[in-house]
Structure 1
Amino acid sequence: MIEQQTSASETIVYDDTVVDEVSSALFSPAYWQQQKAIAGNATGRSTVYFIQQGDRGWVLRHYYRGGFIGKINHDRFLREPAAQSRAIQEFNLLVKLRDKGLPVPKPVAARYLRAGWFSYRADIIVEVIPGAVDVYRLLKQRQLSAEEWQTVGAAVRQLHQAQVFHSDLNCHNLMLDDHGKAWIVDFDKCKICEPGDWTKDNLARLLRSLRKEKQREETFHWKQSRDWPEFMTGYQQHG
C-alpha cells in the first residue's frame, strides 16, 4: 500500500507494508550511522548507502546533478510539483513495473524536499536485491557464460516489451543474482514510451558502455564478437 506524508517543505511517499513510520531521518546517512545500520557504501558520481534494516537491506540514494551544471550546483533541481520530481517519479515508475512483474527493485520510500524559493532536493530508498552483482563488477572478475548473457538480454527485452525507456542502460545497471536471475536498476529519468526506435538507441547505449569499459579497464572479461551475439539471442528469443 502506497502512502504519502506532506508538510510545508517536504513530501514523502512510501510503502507502508515495509515502513511503519516515516520521517526525514530515513533519508539521512548520519541517522543510519548513529543506528549502526550502514552496511557499506558505493561511490560514483554520488555515494549510495547500504542500510541493514532488520532482515532487509535497503539502498539509500541522494539525487545529484550531472554534467557541467553538477560541478556548480550539486544537488538542487528547479522547483516543480512534488509528483513530478525525480525521486517520486522514479518511485511511482518502480511500483508500476513491479506490478507488471518486471525484474526491478522494490521501492521503499522517496522524498521531495524544498530548498530555497526555486529548487528542491530528492532522495529514494529501494530494497537491496539479495545476492545480486552488477554486470560491470562480474566482468571485472570473470567471463559471463552464454546462458548468462542470454538471461540479461531477455530481461532487457522484457523491459522494452513493457515500453519502458531506460535513460541510462549500461553494464552498471544490469545485475545477476546468485540464482542466475537478471535484474535492472536505477530508473532515474526513465519513462514509459510509445513503441519506436528508442529501443535500438537503448541497445546502442548499452553496447557503448561495454566498449568503453573494455578500453578503460585493464581486466574486463568482455569480447564483443563472442558475448554481444549471445545477449542479442536472449533479447530476440524473449520476443
Structure 2
Amino acid sequence: MINELTHQNNYCRYVSDKISHFSVEMLSAEYWQAKHAITGSAQGRGTTWFIQYHDDDKPENPDQQWVLRHYYRGGLIGKIINDSYLFTGMEQTRAAKEFTLLHHLHTLDLPAPMPIAFRVKRRGLFYQADLLSSRIENAQDLVAILSEKALDDTVWQRIGAIIKRFHQHNIYHHDLNAHNILINDKQQVFIIDFDQGEVRTNHSNKWQQGNIDRLKRSFLKELNKLPKFHFNEEHWQQLLSGYSE
C-alpha cells in the first residue's frame, strides 16, 4: 500500500509494507549514516547511497537493500541551479513521476527497481527531491562488466530482448546507456534510472529507435574512453537480434 506523509514543507509517499515506521528523515543520507546502515556509494552527478534496512518490527524478514538518490540537474544549468526545480504541481515533480513509473513497471513485472519512498521539499517556487528504491543485488552495470570481460552472445541477445519488453509496454527511458543496464550474478538483465522516463502511448515509435541509437552511442563513448572495453559491432548485432525476436 502507498501512503502519504506531509511534515512542514516536506511531502512524501512510501510503500508501507516495506517500511513499518516511516519518517521524512529516511530520505536523507545523514539519517542512515547515523544508523551505520550505509553499505557503499557511487558517484554520478551526485552521490548515490547504498543502504541496508532492518525492520525491527519484523525481525523474521531479511534485510532490505536500498538505493538513496538525490535529484541533481545536468548540463550547464546544473552548474548554476544544481538541485532545485520549478514547482508546477506535485505530480509533475521528478520524484513523484519516477516513483509512479517504477510502481507501474513493477505491476508489469518488468526488471527494474521497486519504488520504496520519495520526498519533495518545497522552497518557495522551487523544490528539491530524493528517491528511495530497491537495489538490484549482486549486479554490475555494463560499463563495469565490459571493462573486465566480454559477454556471451546469449547475454547480448538477452539485453536486446529486455529492452524490447520495455518498448512493447511503451516505456520510454530518457537516458538509456551502458551505465543504466545491470546484469546480476545469475545473468539476469535489469534497467535502472527512470528519471524523466514515461509511458508513451500517444507518440510515434521513433522514440524507440532513439533509445536504441542513444545506447549504441554510449557503448562507443566508453570504447573510445576506456583502455579496455569489450564491445564491437558483432556484439551490437547480437543485441539487435535479441531486440528483433
TM-score class, shorter-chain normalisation, is over 0.9
CA distance in 1: counterparts of 2:51 and 2:5, whole angstroms? 22
Counterpart residue number, 1:234: 242
Across the aligned residues of Structure 1 and Structure 2, the Cα RMSD in angstroms comes to: 1.0
CA distance in 2: counterparts of 1:175 and 1:154, whole angstroms? 14
- Of the three residues 137, 143, 148, the one matched with 1:130 is 137
Counterpart residue number, 2:177: 170
1:1-239 maps to which residues of 2 (within 5 A)?
A: 1-54=1-54, 55-115=63-123, 117-194=124-201, 195-223=204-232, 225-237=233-245
Q: How far does the alpha carbon of each residue in 1:173-224 deviate from its partner, in whole angstroms, 9 at most, with x for none? A: 001111111100000000011342110011000000000010011111111x
Displacement after TM superposition at 1:226 (Å): 1.5
Conserved 8 A contact 2:7-2:24: no
CA distance in 1: counterparts of 2:155 and 2:37, whole angstroms? 33
Unmatched segments (≥5 aa) in structure 2 = 55-62
Q: Which structure 1 residue ranges, 4+ long, deviate > 3 Å from structure 2?
A: none
Per mean C-alpha deviation after superposition, the further-off stretch among 169-178 and 14-23 is 14-23
CA distance in 1: counterparts of 2:140 and 2:103, whole angstroms? 22
Aligned residues with identical type, % of pairs = 38
| TM-score, normalised via structure 1 length | 0.96
| TM-score, normalised via structure 2 length | 0.94
Displacement after TM superposition at 1:8 (Å): 4.3
Conserved 8 A contact 2:111-2:191: yes
What's the secondary structure of 2:222's corresponding residue? helix
Displacement after TM superposition at 1:24 (Å): 2.0
What one-letter code is carried by the residue in structure 2 that aligns with 1:26? Answer: M
What one-letter code is carried by the residue in structure 2 that aligns with 1:27? Answer: L
What's the secondary structure of 1:172's corresponding residue? helix
CA distance in 2: counterparts of 1:162 and 1:7, whole angstroms? 36
